Amino acid sequence: MIVSMVSMPEGTVTNPHVSEAREHLTASRFLLVDVELPEEKPPDEQPVAHLLGLETEDVAWLGREGESARAEFLGDSAAFVVPAVEADRITHVHAFVTERYLITAHRGPAGSVRNLTARLPHERPPDSVAMLFLLLEEALDTFRRSAVQALLEVEDLEDEMFQHRVPQHVYRLARLRRRGALLHHALLPYLQVTDEIFTRRMMNPGFPEKRQKLARDYQHTARLVLTDIESLQNSARRAFASYSSLVAGEQNSVINRLAIVSTIFLPLTFLTGFFGMNFTYLTDELESRDVFWLLAVGLQAVFLLIALYALHRTRIWRRLRDDSGNDDQ
């Protein structure tokens, strides 16, 4: 367990023992305490709420594994389970805020908390609630950065497909589409919960105007991030449709070539099959070599010339040649 403490408004960062952090929570008026727990829960791990002196049962889940998205107002305090993107995977930051302090807990490193700690000396939020909204915005930024990066990858991949399509493109598209679904699945339930809570609080006449503005700004930012994720999903679907269109075009070209070959060889097949029959007329009358060259070979050559002339006049051959040239490029 790694405990980091930021004393405000100075923004001084220290790494005290958990017992010392507990004492500061009792005495300090403006404080951020971050608890980084090991990624694998040890068998003798004690609850974070108990270690920090938070004896209320409402936050007994603080730091617990497997907690889903949460946003609760508990009188003069609030508790959140905030999803964030960390190295292409979804992590959760648990947050508990009062008028005097903000406590965060998470498994393994959390980039959103690290960025928040770096911003505090420059942003200088006036209270712990403003500090909470900075944390919520940092978590949203992780989703935005991941969505925008994936969106750019989809666009680059689509350009590569039109230049030279390879089977690996479909696997990369599937991975990017899966990323968009993962981001949407992680963020949407959380935004629904926070929207409901913030809207209910803003309807309360006792909710301060400054905090209403923070809540409205957060909701606006959240909708923009959700729009970015939906744009990623739509771009991935469009890229899959483009890939399918390219494959269908190539298949149509192959089918056209097979149809032309069949058109050329169908009369030849008929002639060889006809003259291969053992009819009395064929075996008794058509015996000379001249008749063989005239009917067997001559008719085939005439049919072949007629087929090639028809292809040339209908421009089918030229169109196939152009399609072949485009495929080679």
Could you report the per-residue pLDDT of 44-89, keeping only the tens digit for each?
A: 778 888 888 877 677 788 888 888 888 888 878 888 999 999 888 8
Provide the pLDDT for residue 139: 92
Q: Which of 141-150, 180-189, 299-308 comes out lowest in average pLDDT? A: 299-308
Q: How confident is the model at residue 148 (pLDDT cuts 50, 70, 90)?
A: very high
The share of the chain scoring above pLDDT 90, in percent, equals 13
Tell me which long-range contacts 255-260 makes (C-beta under 8 A, separation of at least 24). Answer: 256/316, 256/320, 257/320, 260/311, 260/316, 260/317, 260/320
Residue 287, pLDDT > 80, answer no
Residue 144, pLDDT > 90, answer yes
pTM of the entire predicted model: 0.75
pLDDT, tens digit, 9 for 90 and up, residues 199-245: 888 888 888 888 889 889 999 999 999 999 999 888 888 887 777 77
Kindly report whether the peptide bond that precedes residue 189 is cis, defined as omega within 30 degrees of 0.
Answer: no
How many CB atoms neighbour CB 311 within 10 A?
17
Q: How confident is the model at residue 324 (pLDDT cuts 50, 70, 90)?
A: low
Say which residue, 248 or 73, is predicted with more confidence: 73
Provide the pLDDT for residue 170: 79
pLDDT, tens digit, 9 for 90 and up, residues 152-194: 988 888 887 777 777 787 788 888 888 889 999 999 999 998 8
Q: 68, exposed or middle or buried, with CB in 10 Å at 0-12, 13-18, 19+?
A: exposed
Residue 281, pLDDT > 60, answer yes
Contact 218, 166 (CB under 8 A): no
Q: Provide the residue type at 139 as one letter.
A: A
Provide the pLDDT for residue 222: 92
Provide the pLDDT for residue 207: 80
Q: How confident is the model at residue 319 (pLDDT cuts 50, 70, 90)?
A: low
Contact 24, 58 (CB under 8 A): no
Q: Please report the domains of the chain, with CATH numbers, ordered by start residue.
A: 2-244 (3.30.460.20), 249-328 (1.20.58)
Report the 3 state secondary structure along the chain.
CEEEEEECCCCEEECCCHHHHHHHHHHCCCEEEEEEECCCCCCCCCCHHHHCCCCCHHHCCCCCCCCCCEEEECCCCEEEEEEEEECCEEEEEEEEECCCEEEEEEECCCHHHHHHHHHHHHHCCCCHHHHHHHHHHHHHHHHHHHHHHHHHHHHHHHHHHHHCCCCHHHHHHHHHHHHHHHHHHHHHHHHHHHHHHHHHHHCCCCCCHHHHHHHHHHHHHHHHHHHHHHHHHHHHHHHHHHHHHHHHHHHHHHHHHHHHHHHHHHHHHHHHHHHCCCCHHHHHCCCCHHHHHHHHHHHHHHHHHHHHHHHHHCCHHHHHHHHHHHHHC
